[in-house]
Structure 1
Amino acid sequence: MNCWKTINISRDYGTLRLVMFSTSTVLLSFLFYYLIMSTIVQTTEFTPFGFGTFITGLLLLVISHKILHCLPIWLFGGRAIIKFGKYMFVPTMAIKLKEPLSRNVYLLALISPLAIITSLCAVGSIMWPEYLPYFSILTSVNFGLAFYDLVYASHLLKAPKKCFIEDHDEGFHILIKQAV
């Protein structure tokens, strides 16, 4: 007979500390990305957008980040939904899993927004160098959003390869099958 051993990973790492690390990640990634891309790409005259367009782009970035988390889950036959809510006065989005996922699918779901959005912004920076500052900001905000994902991924990389991940409100549980 088999039973499951559960390891609980809490989402509460000290919210203020994570926000500070995430904000630092945004600032440092902007500096590095812009510096590297401006040396690779011949920069041209900056083309300004309106403030409304810029804010819309940031909102679309957050939404696409969440959808790209769900995409690998959906492609591998998992069931996940995006739930909308509110924390104080700030609208929020959260992904809820309907069933446990394998470790590799969960890792892919965590890393896919970082890889895809960063790649698209790098291609956009090369193709349209006049928008390099905007692509740099989008990439750095995406890195800030992905900071949390990288923290969770670091826990999952230490887990056994044949485990399953179950999502809960307080965090996620790593399920390990054991012989009894």
Structure 2
Amino acid sequence: MNCWKTINLNKEFGLNRLYLLSFLTGLVSFILLNVPFTIVHGSISVSETGVLPLLLALLFLPTVHSFMHILPLIMMNKRAKLVYKRKNIVFPVMNYYTKKPLSKKISLLVAFAPTILITIPGLMATYMFVDYYVYFLLFTAVHIAVSFTDFLYVFNVSKAPRKCFVESTNDEIAILIKSQN
């Protein structure tokens, strides 16, 4: 197999720029989602008992987000290696590395899994639980910010040839194509 492209977002954009773009994406998503949900829910008084559960959910969000990437691999019986890193005291991060390269469709599914399994139910909960809609909306906006790098990977992988394979290594993704021999 030949390497078609290697994607390393930390080298391309820089870590500070990724954090800034992620923060701005979360802020814009909160603003754009808050307006229609405020119109739908009207002048409802928001319950103040949702602050502590929101903080707990935000504390566990990076770990749950990483697990949502791994869940489709578990369901499809794909072997993956889990790496648990602690960059800070507060935010543990789980990374996964697959034993074999994945097809383009499976890698796109793995990248979109947290959006499907966390963001969409978060938007549904925002609509359904009127007294706590602001907390669910904040949680969903923060998750959209966390998913920003996933969207960048999806954008790059979607440009790849149709029958390619995607292999994840240390902080980068290699897009492989079969040689024409």
Tell me if both proteins adopt one fold, taking TM over 0.5 as the criterion. Answer: yes
What SS is found at the alignment partner of 1:161?
coil
Contact 1:43 1:130 (8 Å CA) reproduced:
no
Q: In percent, how many aligned pairs have the same letter?
A: 28
Residue number in structure 1 paired with 2:32: 32
Alignment of 1:33-112 (within 5 A): 33-49=33-49, 51-87=51-87, 89=89, 90-112=91-113
Q: Matched residues in 2 for 1:127 and 1:52: separation?
A: 20
CA drift of 1:40 comes to 2.5
- Residue 124, structure 1, aligned to residue 150, structure 2: no
With over 3 angstroms needed to count, the CA separation of the structure-2 counterparts of 1:124 and 1:43, relative to structure 1, is farther
Q: Does residue 12 of structure 2 align to residue 11 of structure 1?
A: no
User: In the alignment, residue 75 of structure 1 is paired with which amino acid?
Assistant: M
Structure 2 counterpart of 1:141: 142
TM-score normalised by L of structure 1: 0.89
List 4+ stretches of structure 1 deviating above 4 A.
Answer: none
Which range is displaced more, 111-120 or 72-81? 72-81
**What root-mean-square deviation, in Å, do the aligned CA atoms of Structure 1 and Structure 2 show?**
1.8
TM-superposition CA deviations, 1:73-128 (whole Å, max 9, x none): 22222122432212255532222222211111111111121122122112212221
**TM-score in terms of structure 2 length:** 0.89
- Higher share of residues assigned strand: 1
Q: Which has the higher helix share?
A: 2
Instruction: Give the residue type in structure 2 aligned to 1:174.
Output: I
Q: Does the 8 Å contact 2:54/2:139 carry over to 1?
A: no
Find the aligned partners of 1:42 and 1:84 in 2 and give their Cα distance. Answer: 43
**Structure 1, unaligned runs of 5 or more:** none
Q: 1:109 to 1:151 in 2, by over 3 A?
A: same
